[in-house]
Amino acid sequence: MTQHVMPPASAAPARSARALAVSRIREGSPHPLGATWTGVGVNFALFSAHATKVELCLFDDAGETELERIELPEYTDEVWHGFLPDARPGTVYGYRVHGPYEPENGHRFNPNKLVLDPFAKAVVGRIVWGPELFGYRLETEDDTTYDERDSAAHMMKGRVVDPAFTWGDVRPPKVPWDRTVIYEMHVRGFTKLHPELPEPMRGTFRGLGHPSVVEYLQKLGVTTVELLPIHTFVDDSYLLDKGLVNYWGYNTIAFFAPARRYAAVPDFAFAEFKEMVARLHDAGIEVILDVVYNHTAEGNERGPTLSFKGIDNASYYRLLPDQHRYYINDTGTGNTLNLSHQRVLQMVTDSLRYWVQEMQVDGFRFDLGTILAREPYGFDEGGGFLDSCRQDPVLESVKLIAEPWDCGPGGYQVGRFPPGWAEWNDQYRDVVRRFWKGDEGMLAPFGSRLTASGDIFNRRGRKPWASVNFVTAHDGFTLNDVVSYDDKHNEANGEDNRDGHNANYSWNHGAEGPTDDPEILTLRHRQKKNFLATLLLSQGTPMITAGDEFGRTQQGNNNAYCQDNEISWVNWSWSEDDTQLVHFVQRLTELRRNYAVLRRNRFFTGEWNEDIGVCDATWITPHGVVMGPEQWSDGNARCLGVVLDGRAQASGIRKRGSDATMLLIVNAHHDVVLFTLPQVTGGRAWLRLIDTNLDYTEDELDAVRLKFGHVYHVTGRSLLLFRLLRSRRQNPTPATKNAPRLDRVPAEHQPTEQPATRGTTQMADAPAGAEPPPGKATARPAPEDDEAPEAAPATESPDETPDDDGIGGVTPV
Burial grade of 728 (CB within 10 A; 0-12, 13-18, 19 or more): exposed
Q: Determine the 3-state secondary structure of 679 from DSSP.
A: strand
> Which residues in 255-286 are b (16+ Cβ under 10 Å) and which e?
bbbbbbbbbbebebbbbbbbebbbbbbebebb
**Catalytic annotation on 286?**
no
The answer to whether 317 and 338 are in contact (CB under 8 A) is yes
Q: How far apart are CA 283 and CA 217, in angstroms?
A: 9
Q: How many CB atoms lie within 10 A of CB 387?
A: 15
Estimate to the nearest angstrom the gap between the alpha carbon of 179 and the chain centroid. 16
The DSSP call for residue 609 is E
Nearest residue to 76 (alpha-carbon basis) of 48, 57, 117, 99: 48
Catalytic annotation, pick one of 290, 403, 578, 671: 403
Q: How far apart are CA 83 and CA 26, in angstroms?
A: 5
Q: How far apart are CA 431 and CA 437, in angstroms?
A: 10
Nearest residue to 633 (alpha-carbon basis) of 762, 760, 764, 445: 760
Q: How many CB atoms lie within 10 A of CB 567?
A: 18
CA angle 703, 709, 713 (to 5 degrees): 60
Q: How far apart are CA 632 and CA 621, in angstroms?
A: 10
Beta strand residue intervals within 373-474, DSSP E: 374-375, 378-379, 399-402, 422-425, 467-469
Give rounded-to-5 percent helix, strand, coil for the chain: 25, 20, 55
Estimate to the nearest angstrom the gap between the alpha carbon of 104 and the chain centroid. 39
CA angle 616, 620, 625 (to 5 degrees): 115
Q: Determine the 3-state secondary structure of 31 from DSSP.
A: coil
Cα R_g (the chain), whole angstroms:
30
The answer to whether 685 and 761 are in contact (CB under 8 A) is no
**Catalytic annotation on 141?**
no
Catalytic annotation, pick one of 178, 367, 659, 695: 367
- Name the β-bridge partners of 451: 539
Residues designated catalytic: 367, 403
